[in-house]
Amino acid sequence: MKLYRYLTGPDDAAFCKRVTAALNKGWDLAGQPTLTFDPVKGRVICGQPIVKEVPGVDYTDDVVLSDH
């Protein structure tokens, strides 16, 4: 099964740590990061798509992406 996630959050060290943690759990970057500006909170928001291949498992709607 191939899993897809799109991580988002403020452009800060915590976001970078979330992406780093996912990479160290076997996820791969899937394209370029995105940036947008939240004018209400006055901050930049990042997004990073990631994918992971999990052999021997079939996808169901019950799959919890963060468990993999």
Alpha carbon distance 45, 11 (integer Å)? 5
How would residue 67 be classed by pLDDT, with cut points 50, 70 and 90?
A: confident
Tens digit of each residue's pLDDT (9 = 90 or more) over 6-50: 999 999 999 999 999 999 999 999 999 999 999 999 999 999 999
Distance CA 61, CA 29 (A): 23
The CA-CA-CA angle for residues 1, 62, 58, to 5°, reads 25
The answer on pLDDT for 66 being more than 90 is no
**In sequence order, which residues have a C-beta less than 8 Å from that of residue 46 and are 6 or more positions away?**
7, 8, 9, 10, 11, 15, 33, 34, 35
Model confidence at 68: pLDDT above 90 = no
